[in-house]
Structure 1
């Protein structure tokens, strides 16, 4: 059984943000503006997404 996935897209730049926020962007696998990735819907990923929700476009699939 496949785990649920969340598709996220970086829509705002991490430049000038806190180092913790930039670490969350890297931890989610986002490399540049408008880059889209699918990550597993785990509590760890949800926590990183919640820290930088204003920088992301989120689509649950």
Structure 2
């Protein structure tokens, strides 16, 4: 499948615990950190939960 690059652009501080856990589960730590993941239904669902904190681009 296609790969996507996920970049943390806003801080998860003060967000709901579930949203902070999702950021951590994706492997994002500090601001501007990025990960490349295979696009799947599970990853897309995680991105939808924290769409206001990340930017996503196709690789």
* Shared fold per TM-score greater than 0.5: yes
Q: Is 2:42 aligned against 1:44? A: yes
Quote how far apart the aligned CAs of 1:60 are.
1.3
TM-score (norm 1): 0.90
Q: Following TM superposition, where does structure 1 have runs of at least 4 consecutive aligned residues deviating by more than 4 angstroms?
A: none
Q: Secondary structure at the match of 1:8?
A: strand
From 27, 33, 36, give the equivalent of 1:35.
33
| 1:10-21 matches, cutoff 5 A | 10-21=8-19
TM-score (norm 2): 0.93
Higher Cα Rg: structure 1 or 2?
Answer: 1
Q: How many residues are aligned here? A: 59
Q: Secondary structure at the match of 2:52?
A: helix
> Over residues 4-53 of structure 1, what are the superposed CA-to-partner deviations in whole Å (9 max), with x where a residue is unaligned?
11101000000000011001101111011000110110111100000000
Say what the alpha-carbon RMSD is for the aligned residues: 0.8
Extract unaligned runs of 5+ from structure 1: none
